[in-house]
Amino acid sequence: MMAEVSLVTNCDCRVSSVLGKNTRELGKQYLFDGSPETCWNSDQGTPQWVALRWKEPVIVTSIIAQFQGGFCGSPDTVVEVGQEGSNCWEEVAPWHLEDVGTEQIIRLQQPRALSSLRLTFKSSTDFHGRIIMYKLDVLGKICKLPNQPLMIRVFSSSLDEERRDGNKCHISLRSEKDNWAGNV
């Protein structure tokens, strides 16, 4: 069994808002920088959210978050998974956050392959609905295809040469568009 790894280094992140649109000092990038001095600070209003998207499917097993006490997501926070090919989200787990400044962890009961994940803070412990988050980490596994025979389909390429040795056919292919070359 493969060990869990941090999946946030290979994802794109979006957030619902940034306080005063000051992304330079309070933006989403500070969720992942490892510094206890920096944070993402949402603007006021509810709901607030953080959405992550991966180019390839991942299996998420745990999520770790750290907030500023008094500016946490409330116990009605939910973990959602994006539906492929649409802007719809499916709730997969409630996250009963506490109003504390220490790390909080949720372990997903049924980890599954996904390409997008969103934390939705339906309300906040702050009267104005602001969220201040110092850390976000998502743990899990990168999906790998099982060992299967490789099937190659050539749609647009140049045939450099063809050579026959008995029952074997050697073909050299090149694709300038995708910048690859290979022999079959």
| Of the candidates 80, 89, 77, the residue with the CA atom closest to the CA atom of residue 47 | 77
DSSP-assigned beta bridge partners for residue 56? none
Instruction: Give the bridge partners for 158, in sequence order.
Output: 174
Q: What's the token pair of residue 114? A: 């996904």
**pLDDT tens for each residue of 93-135:** 999 999 999 999 999 999 989 999 999 999 999 999 999 999 9
Q: What is the mean pLDDT of the chain?
A: 85
Q: What is the pLDDT of residues 65-76, one digit of tens each?
A: 999 999 999 999
User: How many Å separate Cα 118 from the centre of its chain?
Assistant: 8
Residue among 104, 54, 46 nearest 81 (CA): 54
Predicted pLDDT of residue 175:
47
User: Which pLDDT belongs to residue 174?
Assistant: 52
**Which tokens go with 151?**
């099937």
pTM above 0.85, yes or no: no
pLDDT of residue 86: 82
Q: Give me the pLDDT at residue 85, please.
A: 78
Residue 177 confidence class, pLDDT cut points 50, 70, 90: very low
- 5-142: CATH number: 2.60.120.260
35-37-38 Cα angle (round to 5): 75
Confidence band, pLDDT 50/70/90 cuts, at residue 46: very high
Distance, CA of 129 to CA of 136 (rounded, Å): 19
Question: Could you please report the per-residue DSSP string of 114-156?
Answer: EEEEEEEESSBSSTT---EEEEEEEEEEE----S-------SS
Burial call 42-54: b when 16+ CB within 10 Å, e when fewer? bbeebbbbbbbeb
pLDDT > 70 fraction of the chain, expressed in percent and rounded: 77
Annotated domain spans of the chain:
5-142, 152-184
In degrees rounded to 5, what are phi and psi of residue 58? Answer: -130, 160
pLDDT given for residue 166 in this prediction: 54
